[in-house]
A and B are shown apart, each in its own frame.
Chain A
Amino acid sequence: MPKAPLLAPPGPPTLTFRWDGAPVAACPGDTVASALIAAGELATSRSAKYRRLRGPACLHGGCGTCLVRVDGRPNQRACLTPVREDMVVEPQNTYGGLDPTALVDQIFRRGIDHHHLVVYPRLANQMMQGVARELAGFGELPDAPPEGAAGLFDHVPEVLVIGAGRSGRALAAALAAAGRPPLVVERRAAAALPAAERPARLLAGVGVFACYPQERLWAAASEHPPVLHRLRPRHVVLAVGAHEPTIPLANNDLPGVVSARGLADMLEQTGRRLAARVVVVGEGPRAELLAAGLGAERVAPARVHKLLGARRVKGVQLDDGKILRCDLVALAPDPAPAFELAAQAGAPIRFTGAGFAPVCDPDGRIAAGPAAHPLEAADAQTAPPPPWTLWAVGELAGATTPAEIQASVDRCAAALLRALAESPAPEDSHARA
């Protein structure tokens, strides 16, 4: 039975791909996640332990539950994968509509303590381990090794900007206007960025995956084709934004429970419009802004008794018993800065109340400091002083509203340009190794 569409297309769909064997219509600009949500297909997998249905949630490439099999490659993020004509997309870790493993959730109502589950007797323990092994894991092995020539590139940019979101693009534009265009690395495809705002020097579809201070480099890679990039910049601007953490509510994992911010960005990027009832759960000015943008009713997390639904979310039950019917629940938590790369680079990390963030001055400059955990603290301290200056901008630097983000970008750009003015512009180098 076809499901009611939840998102209206910006124009007539011109693409078709296959989802779980059936055709799904999509528009240019759609990701697999936006096309599936539009079609009302919200569940893409079952969870490892309780075997509950899960689907795209953060819509931002951060969470782990929209992983699907695409053209024989397992564990591809539906929210970052652009739709292509005739692509074959399949759910993972599920045995079809009448999946008997769904009973696990019913049987173990009080939870599964996997450390102490069926330890005795030995024979039962061995059988349990066999079953657990089959139900864990996620995707199946890939069909084939990747196609396309592998490659290795070395880049020595004066300024590396990681992330081409709002703050990364604005910062790159400010530096370019002053004659010092940075190299911008963005994990999404170039098509996902507004055409007018694409930085001049852009490595798109390439994710910066680590900082290795002892090797004095940053590493980035693309999957198709399999290419590795080593980056040795003099300045690094982290414009990596924030994660949307979960809000602990009963049934916060139902398919159709998504990030409000992710949903808003997805609508902006795809040109789709909501054709569904949405309830935003969140508090504070940011949640209010997101709810207004989505035209949705908003409730505070403390008022929520539980989310309703079985195969997908159907509503929000409030503490007073009132039920708000809806097709999507959009969570609007306080964002948690994406501190991970900063931590690897040796930045001191503090808890902000919402999440973890690097300690930086008002311009966004990050000083090196002790590492996160005492056992591994010695590493940052024994590393040679880094050959780069590290900066944070936008949400990573604590900005949350568009106005604060712009102010953060302005201050960082001014300070960075002052630092650059002290030395002549060197020639950037980019070479195939």
Chain B
Amino acid sequence: MTARTFVCRCEDVTLGEVERAIAVGLADVEEIKRYTGLGTGPCQGKECLSALGRLLVARGLVPAAALRPFTARPPVEPVTFGALAAGATGPVAPEDPSR
């Protein structure tokens, strides 16, 4: 087995991959997320986001006071289409809504 250090296990993002993204000029949490895929898997960043934040601050790339997380998109817990469908109350569908 190859020795690898993971920042995001969901999307198999290693420390080396985050460092490569930093090396090509990415320093914003949002853009590193998009370029590496970090935080886009089943845990949605619960495991990796703070680890990335610590790394960026430790490297002096972002001052701690300026560091912001990536947008905490809903849902924070997985939710089924079946449960959500129960919440629809409006008309079923507009008829051929071409504009």
Hey, which chain B residues are within 8 Å of A252, CB to CB?
A: 5-6
Asked if B64 is at the interface (CB within 8 A of a chain A CB), the reply is: yes
Query: In the complex, what distance in Å separates the CA atom of A306 from the CA atom of B2?
Result: 11
Residue-wise, chain A 189-231 has the 8 Å CB interface mask toward B (1 for contact) of: 0000000000000000001111110000001011100111010
A49/B11 in contact, CB under 8 A = yes
Shortest C-beta distance, B98 to chain A (Å), equals: 27
Given contacts A65-B10, A310-B1, A372-B72, contact A336 B50 (CB under 8 A): yes
**Which of B9, B37, B83 contacts A47, CB < 8 Å?**
B9
Shortest C-beta distance, A5 to chain B (Å), equals: 25
**Number of chain B residues whose Cβ lies closer than 8 Å to a Cβ of chain A:** 55
Residue-wise, chain A 94-110 has the 8 Å CB interface mask toward B (1 for contact) of: 00000000000110110
Instruction: List B27-70 residues whose CB lies under 8 Å from chain A.
Output: 30, 35, 37, 41-43, 46-51, 53-55, 57, 64-65, 67-70
Query: A residues touching B (Cβ–Cβ < 8 Å)?
Result: 47-50, 52, 54, 57-58, 62-65, 67, 75, 105-106, 108-109, 111-115, 138, 145-146, 150-152, 187, 207-212, 219, 221-223, 226-228, 230, 243-253, 306, 309-310, 336, 338-341, 343-344, 349-351, 353-356, 372-373, 376, 433
Query: In the complex, what distance in Å separates the CA atom of A306 from the CA atom of B16?
Result: 15
Q: Which A-chain residue is minimally distant from B86 (CB atoms)? A: A150
Shortest C-beta distance, A60 to chain B (Å), equals: 9
Query: In the complex, what distance in Å separates the CA atom of A248 from the CA atom of B53?
Result: 13
**Which of A105, A208, A338 contacts B46, CB < 8 Å?**
A338
Say whether chain A's binding surface is mostly helix, strand, loop, or mixed.
Answer: loop
**Which of A226, A250, A253, A354 contacts B86, CB < 8 Å?**
A226
Interface centre among B4, B51, B64, B85 (most CB of A within 10 A): B4
B83/A227 in contact, CB under 8 A = yes
Q: Which B-chain residue is minimally distant from A337 (CB atoms)? A: B50
Q: Which A-chain residue is minimally distant from B48 (CB atoms)? A: A246
A221/B80 in contact, CB under 8 A = yes
Return 24 A-B CB contacts under 8 Å, by A number: A49-B12, A57-B47, A62-B47, A63-B9, A63-B43, A113-B17, A150-B82, A152-B86, A210-B76, A221-B83, A222-B83, A223-B82, A223-B83, A243-B47, A246-B47, A250-B4, A336-B49, A344-B72, A350-B65, A351-B65, A355-B50, A356-B49, A372-B71, A373-B70
Query: In the complex, what distance in Å separates the CA atom of A402 from the CA atom of B43?
Result: 27
Given contacts A250-B3, A351-B64, contact A111 B9 (CB under 8 A): no
Hey, which chain A residues are within 8 Å of B65, CB to CB?
A: 350-351
Query: In the complex, what distance in Å separates the CA atom of A344 from the CA atom of B76?
Result: 10
Shortest C-beta distance, A104 to chain B (Å), equals: 10
A105/B9 in contact, CB under 8 A = no
Query: In the complex, what distance in Å separates the CA atom of A305 from the CA atom of B85?
Result: 50
Query: In the complex, what distance in Å separates the CA atom of A114 from the CA atom of B53?
Result: 23
Hey, which chain B residues are within 8 Å of A212, CB to CB?
A: 74
Q: Which A-chain residue is minimally distant from B11 (CB atoms)? A: A48
Hey, which chain A residues are within 8 Å of B80, CB to CB?
A: 146, 221, 223, 226
Shortest C-beta distance, A94 to chain B (Å), equals: 15
Shortest C-beta distance, A258 to chain B (Å), equals: 12
Shortest C-beta distance, A145 to chain B (Å), equals: 7
Given contacts A226-B86, A372-B71, contact A207 B4 (CB under 8 A): no
Asked if B96 is at the interface (CB within 8 A of a chain A CB), the reply is: no
**Which of B17, B47, B83 contacts A63, CB < 8 Å?**
B47
Query: In the complex, what distance in Å separates the CA atom of A399 from the CA atom of B12?
Result: 31
A228/B87 in contact, CB under 8 A = yes
Query: In the complex, what distance in Å separates the CA atom of A7 from the CA atom of B9?
Result: 25
Hey, which chain A residues are within 8 Å of B5, CB to CB?
A: 248-252
Query: In the complex, what distance in Å separates the CA atom of A144 from the CA atom of B85?
Result: 16
